[in-house]
A and B are shown apart, each in its own frame.
Chain A
């Protein structure tokens, strides 16, 4: 899942349904969130990622994150989300760990 732009409450509202539909339609098990194009994220972005983690992990799947810019990393670090969602430097590295 390659994301770009600003991940706030407004953006997340539409994005969440898109991701959930794709998960169901394509019968996907794991998600890698690629944040390389995300230049702003607040707690609504965190909530969206955490919500997908709950969905996917209930089915035995994994959620990983990669390519966090420093600002997104700062919000991630504060939340302690990395205990649940491992963060990798690149998409390639994340793919190896799925």
Chain B
């Protein structure tokens, strides 16, 4: 089954839940397990939260979420056009946060990397950030779309 979606939302914290539920609903077409859906929801939540807090520093901006399903492979991208990340390697280190004063745990990228099968982070200071993540569904499809 091939399918794709695109979601454009303003950088409001309310949209963190909205975006993760939308991607989870889209992914449900591939009959993933409950754990796989939960992994996707958590990873998308992390990426969108990063865009809100870090990309746009809690200000106004647009976030684009895209997802594509091909057979049992889901690819999700979250893009912002915010401040970008100067040191991508440092940002990916577990427990590193640029905003400790905001009670950030520094675990966002670590969760995305661990909960998804592939993870890429591209960013340019002043231009924005894109996180692309892939989940490969383990279960054989039950035949709903066969």
Contacts and interface: CB of A to CB of B under 8 A. Distances in A.
B111 A6 contact: no
Nearest to B45: A42
Contacts of A71: 38, 42
Interface residues of A, number: 20
A48 interface: yes
A30 to B, nearest CB: 19
B45 A47 contact: no
Given A8-B45, A10-B14, A44-B49, 9 more contacts: A8-B17, A9-B16, A43-B46, A43-B107, A44-B105, A47-B103, A50-B105, A75-B111, A78-B110
Contacts of B13: 9-10, 13
Q: Which interface class (under 10, 10 to 19, 20 to 34, 35 or more) fits B? A: 20 to 34
B29 interface: no
B114 interface: yes
Interface of B: 13-14, 16-17, 38, 41-42, 45-46, 49, 52-53, 97, 102-108, 110-111, 114
Among A12, A42, A50, residue most surrounded by chain B Cβ atoms (within 10 Å): A42
A8 to B, nearest CB: 5
A47 B108 CA distance: 10
Contacts of B105: 43-44, 46-47, 50, 79
Contacts of A8: 16-17, 45, 49
B41 A40 contact: yes
Among A6, A9, A13, A40, residue most surrounded by chain B Cβ atoms (within 10 Å): A9
Contacts of A13: 13
Contacts of A9: 13, 16, 45, 49, 52-53
Contacts of A79: 105, 107, 110
18 contacts: A9-B45, A9-B49, A10-B13, A12-B103, A16-B103, A40-B38, A40-B41, A42-B45, A42-B111, A44-B104, A46-B105, A47-B97, A47-B106, A47-B107, A48-B103, A75-B107, A78-B111, A78-B114
Contact of A51 (B14, B103, B111): B103
The 9 closest A-B pairs by CB, nearest first: A51-B103, A10-B13, A47-B105, A46-B105, A43-B107, A47-B103, A9-B49, A42-B45, A43-B105
Contacts of B38: 40, 71
